[in-house]
Amino acid sequence: MPHTPENRPVSVRLLALCTLVGLLLATPALATGKAAGKAMKAAAPAPALVSIAIHGGAGTLSPAEMTPELAARYTAALEQARDVGYAILEKGGPALDAVEAAVRVLEDNELFNAGRGAVFDADGRNSLDASIMDGSTLAAGAITGVHHVRNPVTLARHVMENSPHVMLSGDGAEEFALEQGLKLEPASYFKTERRWKQFLDTRTAAIGPVANGDPRYFGTVGAVARDAAGHLAAATSTGGMTGKKWGRIGDSPIIGAGTYAEDGACAVSGTGHGEYFIRNVVGYQVCSLVKLKGVSVAEAARIVVQDKLKTQGGEGGIIAMGPNGDWALEFNSEGMYRAARDSSGRREVAIFR
């Protein structure tokens, strides 16, 4: 019998039918697979967030004394320091380089109490302190009581990287600076008329060594950053308090108090009444709250600055950088010179609340 479409064996007709059904079923699956492939290509990982925050001291000139022209100068200086540090991060550089570079800019600007614009101690000298810390290794370096180092934060980094120690002081620190090839400056480089007048003010009977808490007579600069690799770093530099006696050392060069950084937790730089920051181990305490309690960096900063320092009478503030690049700029004083920026497009610069 001839094989017509009507009288083919059942097995052949069944095979053709199965093949047709299979093709129909496979079509949407193939389409879905192609769409998924396109989606995978479109969902390439975003670049890692890089972030930096800086401060130029908590406690500022009162709003009445802060003229528009002076405010513009401070704002421009803060933005310059922030953007110098951010440029390093944007190019893939390490957080440690970024915080050092940002602090150097502030040390070179006579508006701030660090480096060139430092206040005078009771002997009429500029006595400089600084520290820096690498959150990826917990390596740290600090110097205190130097009088001729143009950029104390850079000397602190040399202590961290090129010595077996964490902190060097006074003449020994300056001898080390010379061995490292760092340039020293004459005392005249650091003298500014504004700071000299403040020093003379403190010598009157009515004003004590810290000028009765007047923020014009003390201050600090600092920076914290997160780089593209997720590493954190912090740095702080200061001239201390106007009229300070007996070789007084504040919190700025003390790791754990004025400066601290640890990957996975946070990076902190403090500014304010150093004795309170030392007693409360502020930098380490903020990072411990993030690491051990699981609170956000903003909440940890608020707890320490507002609930602890303020209730004890400690005036000041901190900048803190979280492990994901989120920052906190917390202070309990009238103002804090501050600025921040990250690769998501956020930018901030402010003086008062």
Question: Would you name the residues annotated as active-site residues?
Answer: 220
CA separation for the pair 180, 172 (Å, rounded):
12
Sign for the pseudo-dihedral over CA of 127, 109, 84, 148: negative
User: With contact defined as beta carbons under 8 Å apart, do 114 and 337 qualify?
Assistant: no
SS3 for 189? helix
Token pair for 179: 């061995």
Token pair for 112: 């701030």
Q: Which of the 8 DSSP states describes residue 251?
A: S
Task: List 319's β-bridge partners, or say none.
Answer: 269, 329
What is the per-residue DSSP string for 31-96? HHHHHHHHHHHHTPPPPPP-EEEEEEEES---TTT--HHHHHHHHHHHHHHHHHHHHHHHTT--HH
Token pair for 236: 């702080």
User: With contact defined as beta carbons under 8 Å apart, do 237 and 271 qualify?
Assistant: no
In the block, residue with structure tokens 């540090």: 85
Please state the three-class secondary structure of 274-339 as a single string: HHHHHHCCHHHHHHHHHHHHCCCHHHHHHHHHHHHHHHHCCCEEEEEECCCCCEEEEECCCEEEEE
CA separation for the pair 258, 85 (Å, rounded):
20
